[in-house]
Chains A and B, each alone.
Chain A
């Protein structure tokens, strides 16, 4: 112990930082901020350190070459001792990182921590969210598998829609004409050098401001923030009722940070590393690429937007969103901090959370995608074939062979791109069915060219059997009237 003290003293005589560090560590913070609600920022920092350490570990083996990256990931997973675990830690660390950053952000909004004088802290925080998402996307690319390959294609397609400069941005992003060696190399440079550099710089500024401006006090309903008086009030609060950050508040950060690290390790141990999925070979087209968890909502949005709105939404949406986040502290920089007095803030967060949650949930079963192998691997439920005529069964065969099942479900099996057809005969008459099959419409392709008249007849005969017991088939009443005996021969007399 004495030796440590001597060495410490010798070092500090030369470094001259001890006093500053002690002062910083023991700076007074408002008593209520020693709370379990105030631990998310430090937890994000702890996971960030984990990402740096595991990232360097992975770089010892990983080969950032389009031809070899996938193989090196297999080596990490299967040949290098505990390589799979380091990959899993890094992968789960990234998921936790985004989750914690989002929770931190929600807490900051609910507690009004972005208000005067912490506007810049908030704006740097928004930049930190962006670079964190940037790390997640580039990291997904470095896991160079089919999802990464086609994900890059999606990124290129989105970038190409930028007016005028689109194609140039694509070339710049891919480092050449196609997704290939140069693409992976530049995403490696981004993921390992550029974005981490920005991240470290932003974290430093963010932390500096937290220390200089002080931790946001616990918001009390009725305690209104005014630029003229806030600094003085905060100073008095910390002076009168403050506690030293170390050790009075920091112990909760330490426990929570440790708990999060354990949780990451537990997930890594139990669930293992992410992928890689199939080889990044573009000629293997039997693939349905999916983004990672935190980009799934985008996957849903891109499927559900009307085509004409897509490009404007893709290009304008992020700009508007970012602008709103950046301007937030300037528009609502004063006033109430407590979430109890800020219903719009609470509702906005709920709205965003419910939207993102719904889109993510939808992406779990992608109702907008055809089930590419339903026609050959999902049989028609037997109850739809029992006691049917030969023609109707032939129609069922047409239904399978023409891939109708890829988009239309029967008894909840098959695609959900189009409506389920279990009771289609209740809704559409024979004529309407024929028209729909041949002409398509309502987001269905027209099958007129691909079906012979005999096939159409059989298919429609089968579709006409699809109605629940006890429910009558759809009827064309005007036709019944037209065919009634007394109207059979319409009079030509006026």
Chain B
């Protein structure tokens, strides 16, 4: 065996070694990627949203809009206060309800309800909404996010579990305003 032959063989063995490591890396990448992507996988399977109670209907007098708080259905023990999510409950007429997310449809800041003028106002960039959640003025492109709800056993249930954002509001009710859009 000549020297070039030996070098050729060593070269081949080195490449084989690299290939071997590449295969091992690819195998290990599978669990690593699945681990990293698990929050997305859960969302895709719809495991985040569930029906939860906001309490007895008596807490929400007819014609008024009140703040309600629920504990997020998916929690870890170290979430602290962050898993307590507020929302606005509007009892339209004793029969009909609307439940709005606290997050402004612009960039998610907490909107505040002003019963005197029947408006929701956002402190961040000045988004304003009417009492039915439709957009009144400011930078939001749409009305407030609205949770699906149902009344059962004298309690108000909503389907919630994920922070509503402008791009992921597919599982929420879309509010269309009867009023002309502001310009």
Q: Which residues of A contact B (CB under 8 A)?
A: 65-68, 149-150, 153-154, 156-162, 166-168, 170-172, 174-183, 279-283, 285-289, 299, 302-303, 305, 307-308, 310-311, 368-370, 372, 375, 401-404, 406-407, 417, 440-447, 449-450
Query: Taking chain B's interface residues, is the majority helix, strand, or loop, or is none over half, making it mixed?
Result: loop
Q: Which residues of A contact B154 (CB under 8 A)?
A: none
Query: Are A177 and B74 touching (Cβ within 8 A)?
Result: yes
Q: Which residues of A contact B111 (CB under 8 A)?
A: 285
Contact of B182 among A65, A161, A283, A444 (CB under 8 A): A444
What are 12 residue pairs bridging A and B, where the CB atoms are less than 8 Å apart in the complex?
Answer: A66-B78, A67-B78, A162-B167, A172-B39, A180-B75, A183-B82, A282-B86, A283-B69, A287-B123, A299-B125, A445-B137, A449-B131
Q: Which residues of A contact B130 (CB under 8 A)?
A: 445, 449
Instruction: Say yes or no: is B54 at the interface (Cβ < 8 Å to chain A).
Output: no
Instruction: Say yes or no: is B67 at the interface (Cβ < 8 Å to chain A).
Output: yes
A172 to B107, CA, bound (A): 18
Contact of B117 among A160, A310, A447 (CB under 8 A): A447
B166 to chain A, nearest CB (A): 6
Q: Which residues of A contact B183 (CB under 8 A)?
A: 441-443
A286 to B123, CA, bound (A): 9
B82 to chain A, nearest CB (A): 4
Query: Are A302 and B139 touching (Cβ within 8 A)?
Result: yes
* For the complex of A and B, 3 pairs with smallest distance between CB atoms: A67-B80, A160-B167, A166-B167
A159 to B128, CA, bound (A): 22
Chain B, residues 124-163, CB within 8 Å of chain A (1/0): the string is 1110101100001111110000000000000000000111
Q: Which residues of B contact A (CB under 8 A)?
A: 36-37, 39-40, 42-43, 48-49, 67, 69, 72, 74-86, 102-103, 106-112, 114, 116-119, 121-126, 128, 130-131, 136-141, 161-163, 165-168, 170, 179, 182-183
Query: Are B107 and A157 touching (Cβ within 8 A)?
Result: yes
Query: Are B137 and A283 touching (Cβ within 8 A)?
Result: no
Q: Which residue of A lies closest to B168 (CB)?
A: A167
B139 to chain A, nearest CB (A): 5
Query: Are B108 and A310 touching (Cβ within 8 A)?
Result: no
Given A372-B123, A442-B183, A445-B137, is A177 in contact with B80 using a C-beta cutoff of 8 Å? no
Query: Are A401 and B137 touching (Cβ within 8 A)?
Result: no
Query: Are B108 and A282 touching (Cβ within 8 A)?
Result: no
Q: Which residues of A contact B182 (CB under 8 A)?
A: 440-445
A166 to B43, CA, bound (A): 12
Q: Which residues of B contact A369 (CB under 8 A)?
A: 122-126
A158 to B168, CA, bound (A): 11
Contact of A161 among B69, B72, B166 (CB under 8 A): B166
Q: Which residues of A contact B72 (CB under 8 A)?
A: 177-178, 180
Contact of B165 among A157, A404, A417 (CB under 8 A): A157
Q: Which residue of A lies closest to B105 (CB)?
A: A157
A310 to B43, CA, bound (A): 26
Q: Which residue of A lies closest to B123 (CB)?
A: A288
Contact of B108 among A154, A166, A182, A440 (CB under 8 A): A154
Q: Which residues of B contact A282 (CB under 8 A)?
A: 81-82, 84-86, 102, 110
Q: Which residues of B contact A166 (CB under 8 A)?
A: 165, 167-168
Known contacts A66-B78, A299-B124, A369-B124, then 8 further A-B pairs from the complex at CB < 8 Å, ordered by chain A residue: A157-B165, A170-B165, A178-B162, A179-B82, A181-B77, A282-B102, A303-B126, A310-B141
Contact of B137 among A154, A162, A308, A440 (CB under 8 A): A440
B61 to chain A, nearest CB (A): 18
Given A161-B166, A167-B168, A289-B109, is A444 in contact with B39 using a C-beta cutoff of 8 Å? no
A458 to B59, CA, bound (A): 35
Query: Are A171 and B78 touching (Cβ within 8 A)?
Result: no
A168 to B167, CA, bound (A): 10
A77 to B114, CA, bound (A): 36
B34 to chain A, nearest CB (A): 13
Query: Are B48 and A177 touching (Cβ within 8 A)?
Result: yes
Q: Which residues of B contact A444 (CB under 8 A)?
A: 137, 182
Query: Are A403 and B163 touching (Cβ within 8 A)?
Result: no
B97 to chain A, nearest CB (A): 19
Q: Which residues of B contact A182 (CB under 8 A)?
A: 39, 76
Q: Which residues of B contact A449 (CB under 8 A)?
A: 118, 130-131
Contact of B112 among A372, A401, A407 (CB under 8 A): A372
Q: Which residues of A contact B75 (CB under 8 A)?
A: 180
Query: Are A157 and B108 touching (Cβ within 8 A)?
Result: yes
A355 to B161, CA, bound (A): 40
A447 to B182, CA, bound (A): 13
B47 to chain A, nearest CB (A): 9
Query: Are B119 and A403 touching (Cβ within 8 A)?
Result: yes
Query: Are A153 and B109 touching (Cβ within 8 A)?
Result: yes
Q: Which residue of B lies closest to A367 (CB)?
A: B126
Q: Which residues of A contact B165 (CB under 8 A)?
A: 156-157, 159-160, 166-167, 170
